[in-house]
Structure 1
Amino acid sequence: MDNFQFYSPTEFVFGRDTETKAGEMVKKYGGTKVLIHYGSGSAVKSGLIAKVRNSLSECGIEFTELGGVQPNPRDTLIYKGIQLCRDEKVDFILSVGGGSCIDSSKAIALGVPYDGDFWDFYGTGKEVENALPIGTILTIAAAGSEGSGASVVTKEEGSFKRDVGSDKLRPRFSILDPELTCSLPAYQTACGATDIMAHVFERYFTNTHEVEITDRLCEAVLLTMIKETPRVIAQPDNYEARANIMWAGTVAHNDIVGVGRSQDWNSHRIEHELSALYDCAHGAGLAVVMPAWMEFVYKHNVMRFAQMAVRVWGCQMNFENPDETALEGIQCFRGFLRSIGMPINFKELGAKEEDIPQLVEKLGIGDGKTGGFVHLSAQDIATIYRIAAHAE
């Protein structure tokens, strides 16, 4: 196990009707003028935004609002939010929605006190020195942004999707009421589940030795998702299954399962270009990319993939031919994704094989390489896209 520092200061308020505590939590963390940032009209129609307004008002907290966040959040709305916060002298941002809304909120939070363009931080490694505090009310279990310092947004001009990570962007608090996820369509639920599993796999496939504790934590989250995802698709109002998935999403991405080990993140980088170009759901893109990535890199450490096959998917270990076990595990993963309604190839996703050169170019690798588990060249990534295009 590698040396590590683990910092996860977010306060989580979990359970039924916890959204009514929004005002109390904002006040606790010093907010006096709040931007309520949310996505589609469903948050308004469901009455959730009204509950948030009432909670803030009861605590004497002023607020303004900005809705309209889309999946793969756009820079154009973020610029609008930054200006709104400056004009209204907002000192706290409250995100009401899923990962896209939270990521948009984080971008606004870092942009308000910054003299330049917030985009300067995305995909550049530029350090975030200051940001407004944020809180979240989560409505989709998926991205884990409610417990992480990461943000991923899309620049509309050129369709570039890039990320930034900083502890300055970790939410002060996150309110998690599983009941808020019960109205999600099955497809959106499955996309979220796929993203959660991908967050774990990005950490599970590591070059660090002797990481049994985090291996087992990763496997526990994956087994939970394998059990609970079909349950919530069949029974959308199953509170207990929703609760397990919601907490799994947070645990998968606040890095408790990733400390002390090298991580990869190539699958996310490769997928970002798909969702930027085609505006597909991030989880759906990951369902296509991640098994293809696994097929391309598994020989780098066959026994790690065989371990996944045995411990997560219940395969029998073939000691004479571990490649067979590893590949069986990858096929089990792809089969699970198909069983919950996810696309597994380009055609089902709505992507085009002829766009592969463009997808690779937009990654911006050039003659270099990217990734932590296996360093991939542009040619390698093109091969992964082609595997994904023809998966069955």
Structure 2
Amino acid sequence: MNNFDFQNPTRILFGEGTLAKLGQEAAAYGSKVLLMYGGGSIKRTGLYDNVTAQLRERGIEVFEVGGVEPNPRLSTVRKAIEISRANGVQFILAVGGGSAIDAAKAVAIGVPYEGDVWDFFVQKAQAKSALPLGTVLTLSATGTEMNGNTVITNWEENLKKGYGSLHAYPKFSILDPTLTYTVPADQTMNGTVDMMTHVFEQYFSLTPDTPLQERMCESVLQTVIENAESALANPEDYVARANLMLCGTYALNGGFISVGMRGDWASHGIEHEVSGIYDIPHGTGLAIIYPNWMKYVYRERIERFAQYAVRVWKVNPDGKTDEEVALAGIQATRDFFTRIGAPSKLSEVGVGDEKIDVMAAEAVRFGPIGSFKKLNKDDVAEIYRMSL
């Protein structure tokens, strides 16, 4: 196990009815708020009216940027920064899923920065401060409600890049599972894949002597598997929705389940290049790419993949080699993704081989990626080809 320094400053208000606490929480951070949200579902469900009423009851002036894209655009972030600066906004509030929250984080760190916010994403600058940020989560997926990560797409350059900073952690996040009842099946699928792959990125590690962390990762994966299909079959199953919501938060909140372990994260970088060009949902891309990354790298530490197969998927190891067990676990992963409605090939979502070299080159723009197995351009290109 490696040494570690773990800090997570986000306050979580979890459970049915916690939305009622929003006005009180927001009022602690100022009298002018920028509200950011996605395509408008919060207006159809009445959530928008609830949120704005609570804010105005507290005397908070509300400015808005709606229509945040599923792969949030740099142009939207820049627009929101301009609005915030022009109106003296003191607090950012994101209502929605990972896209709305990621965009709001970029705005929060971008407002006090004198340069262009894209500088953070291309490693030209580091955030030194941020406006305070709060979130109301409506989609269980990314864990962005309790971490400092943000991913933004520069559509003009077809680049999708992530950035992380302690300054970007939300001050508070409201997690009411009933707000996810209206999430469509495809988004529930994408969220399920996303949270599982977040755990994978930490679990498939070369760091030795981490039994507690491994079992925490395995328990999150098992809980997701046990609840995802129930949520898809009955969208208003509170128990399933609550368990998925908590799993999404635990899967990626600054390293809680993997402190002392070195994660990999190559697959996320590989997928970002696909969705940065083709604008497919992040979870969909990961569902296609991650099992192929597994097949490409599993021999680097075959015993970890065998352990995963036995503990998570209950593969019977009797009479089998570690390789056979490991491959059975990888296949079980692929089968589960298919069972919850995820595609298995890039060709199914309109992605061909014409941009493989471009995507592979950009994925390793700053050098080889991954730690479980270091991947160069040729490795990444091969994983893309395996995914076609």
SS of 1:353 mapped into structure 2: coil
Matches within 5 A, 1:1-392: 1-28=1-28, 30-124=29-123, 126-254=125-253, 255-317=255-317, 321-365=321-365, 368-389=367-388
Within 2, Cα distance between the matches of 1:319 and 1:293? 26
- Tell me which stretches of 4 or more aligned residues in structure 1 moved more than 3 Å: none
SS of 2:221 mapped into structure 1: helix
Task: Report the TM-score, using the length of structure 2 for normalisation.
Answer: 0.97
Query: Deviation digits for residues 51-98 of structure 1, max 9, x if unmatched?
Result: 111111222222211101011100111111000001110010000010
Task: Report the TM-score, using the length of structure 1 for normalisation.
Answer: 0.97
Contact kept in structure 2, 1:365 and 1:378, CA below 8 Å: no
Q: Which residue type is aligned with residue 273 of structure 1? A: E
Within 1, Cα distance between the matches of 2:124 and 2:2? 23
SS of 2:259 mapped into structure 1: coil
Return 304-313 or 56-65, whichever deviates more: 56-65
Measured after TM superposition, the shift of residue 125 of structure 1 is 6.7
Contact kept in structure 2, 1:102 and 1:136, CA below 8 Å: yes
Within 2, Cα distance between the matches of 1:67 and 1:136? 15
Contact kept in structure 1, 2:71 and 2:153, CA below 8 Å: yes
Distance 1:174 1:185, change over 3 A: same
Query: Deviation digits for residues 343-374 of structure 1, max 9, x if unmatched?
Result: 111122321123211211232437x4111211
Query: Deviation digits for residues 280-321 of structure 1, max 9, x if unmatched?
Result: 110000000100000000000000000000000110125762
Q: Which residue type is aligned with residue 343 of structure 2? A: P
Query: Mind listing any 5+ residue stretches in structure 1 that lack a counterpart?
Result: none
Within 2, Cα distance between the matches of 1:296 and 1:179? 39
Contact kept in structure 1, 2:364 and 2:376, CA below 8 Å: no
Contact kept in structure 2, 1:271 and 1:286, CA below 8 Å: yes
Within 2, Cα distance between the matches of 1:267 and 1:370? 9
Q: Which residue type is aligned with residue 141 of structure 2? A: A
SS of 1:312 mapped into structure 2: helix
Q: Which residue type is aligned with residue 215 of structure 1? A: E
SS of 1:35 mapped into structure 2: strand
Query: Deviation digits for residues 10-30 of structure 1, max 9, x if unmatched?
Result: 1111112322221111123x2
Contact kept in structure 2, 1:125 and 1:164, CA below 8 Å: no
Contact kept in structure 2, 1:294 and 1:330, CA below 8 Å: yes
Distance 1:124 1:381, change over 3 A: same
Within 2, Cα distance between the matches of 1:125 and 1:225? 37
Q: Which residue type is aligned with residue 97 of structure 2? A: G
Percent identity over the alignment? Answer: 45
Q: Which residue type is aligned with residue 335 of structure 2? A: G
Q: Which residue type is aligned with residue 161 of structure 1? A: K
Q: Which residue type is aligned with residue 264 of structure 2? A: D
SS of 2:156 mapped into structure 1: coil
SS of 1:164 mapped into structure 2: strand
Query: Mind listing any 5+ residue stretches in structure 2 that lack a counterpart?
Result: none
